[in-house]
């Protein structure tokens, strides 16, 4: 069936989508090259179908999403791509959608930023609705990325993302709150998270940081537009790409992200967990996105002794080791270490809310490891560090963590 790929009210391309597989079979016409999803390449006026398909499929819930097999069974669908077609591909992280060719649908009437949406798919994804039946599929949950169980809900007129953690510690929601508290202390632009409990399960909640005007473009997509040569580090490539787009202060924004990730020992800052914001109409690049999704950190899947020993900590997106990645920071001068005084009280007060999931030994281990990393940072900031960014120790692949599928 033919659909028009739309960017708000702007027709971008005429596509033929296979209703059985959910794949783009053909790009019949390109109307607005500049409005193609960023990172999709065009050669001689023809958009690259494979990369547009990658973008489209990336829009669907990943196969690694916790509980997705059961959810698809309840929804009576064969793949998460089918969900895309049932909500016109609408999302709460950008303004793209697909319009059936001869329909008179309008963006203003259907977008989820300004219109309500159904809670059916969210209920199924969280395992709250497990009977087959008639579902209303109009939901931004059909296009949400990431491995953890999650759903969008409108609370007090605000679009909020509810996200769970993984067994056995369910630590990610609490980590999100701790990371946002540390970011606030350091004046780092970030998404604020809080905790809610539902049916004995903790969730982090944050507001949508995207609105009807500006979209999130992931670092992965930013880096697709230009090829990286083998002598250029992943870090330098990202900085170069952002500078070419005119994003002022990108070095500072990345410095902030790297420092926060060092303090919390973040293990999953993959290239879809940070990026840039651009205006969907003018295509003007606005800024780095505020820091979000910092939950896979603070030894979330490790036992207390491993947390204390700092063992097996992964690092992304630039270097494989935090010790190497922190050396990419161009300046530590902006860090107000005094603002971190008492951070242990923040950490404990958040973890105290985890009840039986997190015991005292674990809390102490987390506090101890954070304080040690802050001390390391203090030392680094007072001595000359080598800010070279060679390709040594670079991350080679970029894949999100997958979680224990049983929760
Ligand atoms: N507050 C927000 N506003 C708008 N979009 C958001 C927000 N939070 C997350 N997103 C979008 O939803 C996606 C999934 O969310 P998030 O990264 O928090 O989930 P996750 O399951 O932890 O992901 P991962 O697979 O990286 O572990 C993000 O990559 C981003 O595109
Ligand atoms: Mg993520």
CA 209 to ligand 1: nearest atom: 3
- pLDDT band (50, 70, 90) for residue 400: low
Domains of the chain: which residue ranges? 2-146, 164-407
Is residue 406 scored above 50 in pLDDT?
Answer: no
Atom 2, ligand 1: residue with shortest CA distance: 208
Q: In the predicted model, what is the mean pLDDT of residues 112-130?
A: 94
Residue 277 and residue 95: Cα distance in Å, rounded?
12
Q: What is the pLDDT of residues 40-55, one digit of tens each?
A: 999 999 999 999 999 9
pLDDT of residue 398: 66
Q: In this structure, what are the phi and psi dihedrals at residue 144, rounded to the nearest 5 degrees?
A: -90, 140
Q: In the predicted model, what is the mean pLDDT of residues 356-381?
A: 97
Is residue 125 scored above 50 in pLDDT?
Answer: yes
Distance from first CA to last CA of the chain, Å, rounded?
38
pTM of the model: 0.95
Q: Which residue has the tokens 């609408």?
A: 90
pLDDT of residue 402: 52
* Residues 24, 30, 31, 35, CA torsion sign: positive
Residue 37 CA from chain centroid, whole number: 17
Q: Where are the beta strands (DSSP E) in 165-321?
A: 193-198, 201-207, 214-218, 275-279, 285-288
Q: What is the pLDDT of residues 262-288, one digit of tens each?
A: 999 999 999 999 999 999 999 999 999
If you average pLDDT over every residue of the chain, what do you get? 94
Q: Which CATH architecture has domain 164-407?
A: Orthogonal Bundle (1.10)
Q: In the predicted model, what is the mean pLDDT of residues 315-330?
A: 97
Token pair listed for 346: 């923040």
Residue 162 and residue 395: Cα distance in Å, rounded?
30
Is residue 116 scored above 50 in pLDDT?
Answer: yes
- pLDDT band (50, 70, 90) for residue 407: very low
Lowest mean pLDDT among 167-176, 336-345, 356-365, 398-407: 398-407
pLDDT of residue 403: 47
Q: In the predicted model, what is the mean pLDDT of residues 331-344?
A: 97
Instruction: Please give all residues whose beta carbon lies within 6 A of any atom in ligand 1, as ranges.
Output: 92-93, 144-148, 150, 161, 163, 191, 206, 208-210, 216, 268, 272-273, 292-293, 295-296, 400-401
Q: In the predicted model, what is the mean pLDDT of residues 201-219?
A: 97
State the ligand closest to the CA atom of 59.
1
CA proximity to 266, closest of 220, 299, 241, 290: 299
Is residue 308 scored above 60 in pLDDT?
Answer: yes
pLDDT of residue 401: 55
């Amino acid at each position: 069936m033919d659909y028009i790929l739309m960017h708000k009210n702007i027709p971008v391309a005429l596509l033929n989508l296979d209703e059985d597989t959910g794949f783009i079979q053909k790009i019949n016409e390109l109307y607005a090259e500049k409005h193609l999803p960023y990172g999709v390449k065009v050669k001689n006026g023809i958009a690259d179908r494979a990369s547009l398909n990658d973008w489209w499929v990336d829009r669907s819930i990943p196969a690694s999403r916790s509980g997705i097999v059961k959810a698809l069974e309840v929804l009576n669908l064969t793949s998460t791509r089918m969900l895309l077609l049932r909500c016109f591909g609408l999302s709460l992280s950008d303004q793209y959608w697909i319009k059936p060719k001869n329909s008179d649908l309008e963006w203003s009437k259907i977008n989820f930023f300004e219109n309500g949406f159904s809670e059916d798919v969210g209920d199924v994804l969280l395992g709250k609705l497990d009977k087959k039946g008639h579902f209303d599929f109009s939901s931004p949950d059909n296009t949400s990325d990431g491995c953890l169980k999650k759903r969008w809900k409108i609370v007090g007129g605000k679009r909020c993302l509810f996200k769970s953690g993984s067994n056995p510690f369910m630590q990610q929601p609490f980590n999100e709150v701790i990371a946002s508290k540390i970011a606030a202390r350091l004046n780092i632009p970030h998404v604020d998270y809080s905790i809610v409990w539902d049916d004995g399960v903790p969730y982090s909640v944050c507001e949508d940081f995207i609105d009807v005007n500006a979209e999130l473009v992931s670092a992965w997509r930013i880096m697709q537009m230009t090829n990286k040569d083998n002598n250029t580090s992943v870090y330098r490539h990202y900085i170069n790409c952002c500078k070419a787009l005119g994003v002022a202060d990108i070095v500072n924004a990345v410095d902030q992200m790297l420092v926060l990730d060092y303090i919390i020992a973040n293990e999953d800052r993959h290239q879809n967990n940070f990026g840039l914001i651009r205006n969907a109409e003018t295509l003007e690049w606005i800024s780095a996105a505020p820091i979000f999704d910092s939950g896979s950190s603070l030894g979330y899947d490790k036992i207390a002794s491993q947390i204390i020993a700092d063992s097996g900590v992964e690092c992304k997106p630039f270097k494989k080791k935090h010790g190497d990645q922190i050396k990419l920071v161009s300046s530590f001068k902006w860090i107000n270490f005094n603002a971190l005084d008492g951070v242990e009280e923040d950490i404990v007060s958040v973890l105290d809310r985890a009840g039986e999931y997190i015991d005292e030994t674990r809390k102490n281990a987390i506090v101890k490891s954070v304080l040690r990393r802050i001390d390391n940072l203090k030392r680094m900031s007072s001595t000359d560090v080598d800010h070279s960014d060679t390709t040594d120790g670079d991350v080679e692949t970029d894949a999100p963590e997958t979680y224990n599928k049983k929760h």
